[in-house]
């Protein structure tokens, strides 16, 4: 009876609980309503941002496609100069098209965003080509006047082969940049350089399987012929020496090779002539001190003969033609290089590699600059099939660190008397030259110049620098101001100028020591 009376009292609100319940209900419903409104408002804003985000991506894509259509049309309809290759005609056509500007950023205006006159849509587009046969389109879409303006960027790469055909159109991919100047969001993290290592069948100290031993069939080595710099013609690999690769994975650099040419170690003098040669200095050398001079026996110098040197270029079948040149380019094989004229390319390597370049690739009447940079470690041997004659261009061959050693082998003549410039962190070998070697200005070689020529003429200036000269058959004549950091080893020597020889820390450097 008591419970029934209490229940009736509760429902009649005799003690005032209903008001409290009503207030609590109002509070709960208000909270739910505010929450629903907030969620709805946030959802609406998120949807708007998502629409803007999607729109700005398609704006970037539209800018890219606008340039790509124009670019492909120029590729398919190049200029028609019969004296030039199809690729050169394509590049000429593109260079004269104002819509395909390779130096400035183009801005394209599209319709107002969602018919909102306060929101302007634009695409900022940049076209680059490095190397010459690789075009990259960068496009950033923006919506101006949308508060915290957002932007997204995309890129696409188009590659062209020697015949002017598109062989790799690539795919459109999103990139991260922070402004219309295409500044990257962050610096890229260097990746692991692929390539290198040994073939499974290699053993002992011959694990650099990419070395072809210069194609010297007199060098009886196991098949990989691992040590690439010039060898003694009677070399035999007994697997007891170091061979320069330390018996490891082919990534090592120096070390004494059991097949290196044992040329004499020269003494304290700076200029050496043969026992039958002459020495004549009428100009100043090393200031008023002059050049110290000694004689040597030419029979003690063992350089590869012309026939042996030519055989270095006979193993072209051991190379893979690099039809598509990327930047950076990984050297995972011995390559034949094309389309490098006028490019700035970085090659990454983790072991010794060979490159074969036809001289026509480096020849240009245009004032172009070709730069080949090598990073990583190992010995890079560059074989130039023909003459080295760069006319009025600039050739830069750079070792990006001390673990990279570069040798340049020139099959025919070495012409250094033109208006062009050569900067090479390399030894240059010209052992089959039929003409005189004339060295003019604008030459900077951080290694030896080794030649079998009968005559070397130097007419340099303060920018002419060579680490050392080894030309035991040459009559050497010089004038002007130039620098040889090491020693000069020739047949006869005549100087009338103000040169500097052996005044640097390289004064003990032996230019005839071929390793």
Structure tokens at 439: 């060295």
DSSP code per residue over 466-515: EEEEEEEEEEEEEEE--EESS-EEEEEEEEEEEEEES-STTTT--TT---
Residues 6+ apart with CB under 8 A from 461: 441, 480, 481, 482
Task: Find tokens 């100009």 and name the residue.
Answer: 283
Task: Tally Cβ neighbours within 10 Å of residue 396.
Answer: 16
- Specify the higher pLDDT residue, 423 or 324: 423
* pLDDT-above-70 percentage for the chain: 73
Q: pLDDT tens across 156-212, in order? A: 988 888 778 887 777 888 888 878 888 877 533 333 222 233 332 333 333 333 333
| Angle between helix 86-95 and 17-76 (nearest 10) | 120
Report whether the peptide linkage leading into residue 243 is cis, meaning its omega lies within 30 degrees of zero.
no
User: Is residue 489 a contact partner of residue 296, using CB atoms and an 8 Å limit?
Assistant: yes
pLDDT at 87: 82
Highest mean pLDDT out of 22-36, 123-137, 228-242, 397-411: 397-411
Q: With 0.95 as the threshold, say if the pTM is over it.
A: no
What distance in Å separates the CA atoms of residue 367 and residue 422, rounded to the nearest whole number? 13
Domains of the chain are 46-175 (3.30.1300), 271-501 (no CATH)
Cβ neighbours of 390 (radius 10 Å)? 23
Q: What is the pLDDT of residue 229?
A: 39
- d(C-alpha 285, C-alpha 247), whole Å: 45
Q: What is the pLDDT of residue 208?
A: 36
pLDDT at 319 over 60: yes
Query: CA distances (Å), 433 to each of 408, 417, 440, 445, in order?
Result: 14, 15, 17, 18
410: β partners: 384
Please check whether residue 131 is in contact with residue 153, taking contact to mean a CB–CB distance below 8 angstroms: no
């Amino acid at each position: 009876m008591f419970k029934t009376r209490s229940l009736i009292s509760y429902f009649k609100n005799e003690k005032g609980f209903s008001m409290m319940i009503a207030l609590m209900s109002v509070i709960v419903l208000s909270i739910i309503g505010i929450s629903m409104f907030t969620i709805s408002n946030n959802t609406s804003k998120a949807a708007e941002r998502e629409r803007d985000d999607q729109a700005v991506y398609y704006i970037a894509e539209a800018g890219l496609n606008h340039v790509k259509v124009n670019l492909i049309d120029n590729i398919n309809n190049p200029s028609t100069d019969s004296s030039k290759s199809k690729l050169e005609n394509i590049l000429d056509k593109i260079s004269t098209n104002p819509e395909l500007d390779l130096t400035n950023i183009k801005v394209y205006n599209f319709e107002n965003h969602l018919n909102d006159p306060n929101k302007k849509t634009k695409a900022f587009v940049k076209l680059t080509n490095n190397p010459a046969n690789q075009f990259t389109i960068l496009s950033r879409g923006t919506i101006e006047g949308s508060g915290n303006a957002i932007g997204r960027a995309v890129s696409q790469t188009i590659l062209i082969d020697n015949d002017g055909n598109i062989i790799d159109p690539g795919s459109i991919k999103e990139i991260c940049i922070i402004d219309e100047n295409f500044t990257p969001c962050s610096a890229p993290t260097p990746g692991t350089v692929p390539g290198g290592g040994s073939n499974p069948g290699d053993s002992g100290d011959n694990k650099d399987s990419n070395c072809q031993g210069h194609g010297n069939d007199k060098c009886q080595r196991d098949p990989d012929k691992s040590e690439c710099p010039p060898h003694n013609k009677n070399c035999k690999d007994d697997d007891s020496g170091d061979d320069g690769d330390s018996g490891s994975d082919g990534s090592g650099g120096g070390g004494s090779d059991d097949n290196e040419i044992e040329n004499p170690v020269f003494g304290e003098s700076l200029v050496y002539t043969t026992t039958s040669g002459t020495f004549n200095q009428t100009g100043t050398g090393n200031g008023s001190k002059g050049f110290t001079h000694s004689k040597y026996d030419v029979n003690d110098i063992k350089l590869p003969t012309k026939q042996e040197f030519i055989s270095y270029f006979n193993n072209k079948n051991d190379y893979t033609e690099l039809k598509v040149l990327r930047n950076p380019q990984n050297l995972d094989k011995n390559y034949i290089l094309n389309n490098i004229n006028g490019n700035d390319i970085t090659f990454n390597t983790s072991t010794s590699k060979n490159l074969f370049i036809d001289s026509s690739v480096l020849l240009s009447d245009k004032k172009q600059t070709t730069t080949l940079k090598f990073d990583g470690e190992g010995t890079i041997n560059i074989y130039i099939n023909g003459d080295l004659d760069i006319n009025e261009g600039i050739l830069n061959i750079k070792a990006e660190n001390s673990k990279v050693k570069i040798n340049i082998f020139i099959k025919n003549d070495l012409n250094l008397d033109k208006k062009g410039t050569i900067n090479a962190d390399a030894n240059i070998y010209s052992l089959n030259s039929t003409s005189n070697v004339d060295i003019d200005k604008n030459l900077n070689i951080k290694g030896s110049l080794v030649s079998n020529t009968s005559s070397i003429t130097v007419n340099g200036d303060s920018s002419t620098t060579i680490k050392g000269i080894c030309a035991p058959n040459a009559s050497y004549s010089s004038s002007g101001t130039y620098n040889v950091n090491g020693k000069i080893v020739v047949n006869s020597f005549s100087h009338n100028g103000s040169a500097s020889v052996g005044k640097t820390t390289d004064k003990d450097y032996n230019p005839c020591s071929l390793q």
